[in-house]
Amino acid sequence: MGKIIAIANQKGGVGKTTTAINLAASLAALEFKTLLIDADPQANSTSGLGFNPKEVSRSIYECMVGIATVAESILATEVPFLDIIPSHIDLVGAEIEMINLTNREGKMKEALAGIKDQYDFIIMDCSPSLGLITINSLTAADSVIIPVQCEYYALEGLGKLLNTIKIIQSRLNPGLVIEGILLTMYDLRLRLSNQVVNEVNSHFKNMVFETIIPRNIRLSESPSYGIPAILHDADSKGAISYLNLAKEIILKNGLLQTI
């Protein structure tokens, strides 16, 4: 039974896409069959894995509005055990087209029902908004990872996100849990980074992942090569930290014996 994990935070630039690509690639490196869904019209996960969003003919958009099936929209990536359902800019239009559909919040869940069992993990890269596509992702998800950047205003907007998650839990997806809050772009030398780590830990205690993602050049440059950091430079601090995150999630979900 595949576990669906949404990577969400309506704030832009906090590391959602970097986490989606590198967590998915790390789970795949551990030989868990993984599907990455790019649910952001900016299509950064799509291009980060080497696909040109302008040349994509079927995306998660077509799946949600019922023009294509998920099965025919899946592309194999260069990473063994990792597939992707890409995005393209038309996903922006999906929000408007979906408004008049019945069960408009449940379209992603409906689309994924047929393939959920074919994967160990399905990772969804959400857009920086709490619009209908993100609501669809959270309705389809079993859990959510919230990346928080170790920067000024780290906690800004987090209350609103947690509130949205509560509403989705009560109205649309009672099974949704918070997999964890992930501290990203940590810089050991900065006092501010350490302050944010302490602040988030004291506010959210055992909701925070032990793994902290450092600021690392390999993570920011690997999308330009169209490959995840684990293929670009497996020994880099960035690649190792996402592998550790994957292992932490596997342990937490009781899948250790299968590593």
Residues that bind Mg ion (CB under 5 A): 16-17, 44
Q: What's the Rg (C-alpha) of the chain?
A: 17
The verdict on 220 binding ligand ADP (CB under 6 A) reads yes
Site for ligand ADP in 237-256 (CB under 6 A): 238
The verdict on 60 binding ligand ADP (CB under 6 A) reads no
The verdict on 10 binding ligand ADP (CB under 6 A) reads no
The verdict on 13 binding ligand ADP (CB under 6 A) reads yes
Select 17 or 149, whichever has its Cβ closest to Mg ion: 17
Q: Least distance (Å) from ligand ADP to the CB of residue 70?
A: 23
56-62's contacts with Cβ under 8 Å and 24+ in sequence apart are 56/86, 56/87, 56/88, 59/85, 59/86, 59/87, 59/88, 59/90, 59/91, 60/85, 60/86, 60/87, 60/91, 60/108, 60/111, 61/87, 61/88, 61/90, 61/91, 61/93, 61/94
Select 68 or 213, whichever has its Cβ closest to ligand ADP: 213
The verdict on 77 binding ligand ADP (CB under 6 A) reads no
Select 120 or 151, whichever has its Cβ closest to Mg ion: 151
Q: Which of 185, 200, 239, 243 binds ligand ADP (CB under 6 A)?
A: 185
CB count in 10 Å sphere of residue 163: 11
The verdict on 14 binding ligand ADP (CB under 6 A) reads yes
Cα(25)–Cα(108) distance, rounded to whole angstroms? 22
Stretch that binds ligand ADP, among 6-14, 130-138, 196-204, 248-256 (CB under 6 A): 6-14
Those residues with Cβ within 8 angstroms of residue 125's Cβ, 6 or more apart along the chain or in another chain: 7, 16, 17, 20, 21, 36, 37, 38, 39, 40, 44, 45
* Contact indicator for 176, 138 with CB cutoff of 8 Å: yes
Select 127 or 139, whichever has its Cβ closest to ligand ADP: 127
Q: Which of 15, 41, 53, 228 binds ligand ADP (CB under 6 A)?
A: 15
Q: Which of 26, 34, 44, 173 binds ligand ADP (CB under 6 A)?
A: 44
Q: Least distance (Å) from ligand ADP to the CB of residue 42?
A: 8
Select 16 or 232, whichever has its Cβ closest to Mg ion: 16
Binding mask 97-136 for ligand ADP (x = CB under 6 A): -------------------------------x--------
Positions that interact with ligand ADP (CB under 6 A): 12-18, 44, 128, 184-185, 213, 215-216, 219-220, 238
